[in-house]
Amino acid sequence: MALVSSILEKFNFISSSLNNFFRDKLEIKGFPKMKNDRWKYTKTIDIFSSNQERESFDLKANLPISKLGSYDFRYLDDSFAFLSLSLVKDIDFIKMKDEKLILGNSLLKGAYFKALVIEVEGRCNIIEKFTSTEETMFFPLTYIILKRGSSLSYTKLQEHSGSVVDNTLLTLEEGSRLEMVTFSRGSRVLRNNLKVLQKTNSESTINGIYSVDKGHLDNFLRVEHLDRSRSKQKYKGIVEKGRVSFAGSIFIDRSAPGTESHQLNKTI
């Protein structure tokens, strides 16, 4: 708990009802240790080893961004997601309908925190690209809701040299379709937490492609089928002197008979 308090103090904890709520959750949960199966290959201390000051940045996007004081994050259970929500002043919000969204930024030096909610209607396309230097820590949280009958093509480009813990949560409502691919390169430490919640007759295809030289990459993926639905996940990558771990899990609710789900990871 001492680490939680010192991190929040270092990065200028903001006091509001939203921030206090997630600060309490973070202090109860604490940061994960290697004895936790989900984190047995990633040392939390390595993520915070850069002695950086907190910096603010504007999310660059080609669609209008509004601000939310709060949002329903009931499915979140990750300490670093709680950290981001403890430290952001506002939650960015984008609503899409039959549109293409391009978002990202180049992060130079410092510690950055982001919380973004995207609602998708119709046929939409998202391209996300963030880059960072070795003197950077980045803690993004992205929550995407695919409305009933919508479809989304989501491309995530990760070119980092510093430490990143990327939390992405997607909810697929009835009859929605998701195609997602993540390209990951570099990074001293890069942890991807991806959680997908699927409802009736939704479909998802999730691919990951990665190249690691000297750094550490940890892909954690969880797909939850809350009703009859289909999913496919395939991750492939090349590792040289670095280290890569993959942990994938599929949960099928008892009320989801007829669900199809396939998962594959290959590393060279």
The per-residue pLDDT for range 73-86, each reduced to its tens digit, is 878 888 999 999 88
CA pair distance 112, 145, nearest whole angstrom: 24
Taking 70 as the threshold, does the pLDDT of residue 38 lie above it? yes
CA pair distance 268, 266, nearest whole angstrom: 7
- On average, the pLDDT of the chain sits at 89
**pLDDT (0 to 100) of residue 232:** 97
Residue numbers of the domain that contains 27: 2-267
**pLDDT (0 to 100) of residue 12:** 63
Mean pLDDT of the region 189-215:
94
**pLDDT (0 to 100) of residue 135:** 81
Work out how many domains the chain is built from and give that number: 1
**pLDDT (0 to 100) of residue 1:** 54
Mean pLDDT of the region 186-196:
91
Buried b (16+ CB within 10 A) or exposed e, 214-223: ebbbbbbbbb
CA nearest neighbour of 239 among 195, 198, 166, 186: 186
Taking 90 as the threshold, does the pLDDT of residue 253 lie above it? yes
CA pair distance 159, 56, nearest whole angstrom: 20
CA pair distance 186, 211, nearest whole angstrom: 7
Place 44 in a pLDDT band, splitting at 50, 70 and 90: confident
Mean pLDDT of the region 88-93:
88
Place 234 in a pLDDT band, splitting at 50, 70 and 90: very high
**pLDDT (0 to 100) of residue 108:** 83
pLDDT in tens, 156-179: 999 888 899 999 999 999 999 999
Mean pLDDT of the region 189-207:
96
Taking 80 as the threshold, does the pLDDT of residue 15 lie above it? no
pLDDT in tens, 93-116: 999 999 999 999 998 888 899 999
CA nearest neighbour of 24 among 49, 1, 47, 52: 1
**pLDDT (0 to 100) of residue 17:** 67
Mean pLDDT of the region 172-192:
94
Taking 60 as the threshold, does the pLDDT of residue 88 lie above it? yes
Place 222 in a pLDDT band, splitting at 50, 70 and 90: very high
Can you read off the two tokens belonging to residue 185?
């390169």
Percentage of residues in the chain having pLDDT higher than 70: 94
Asked whether the beta carbons of 160 and 134 are under 8 A apart, the reply is no
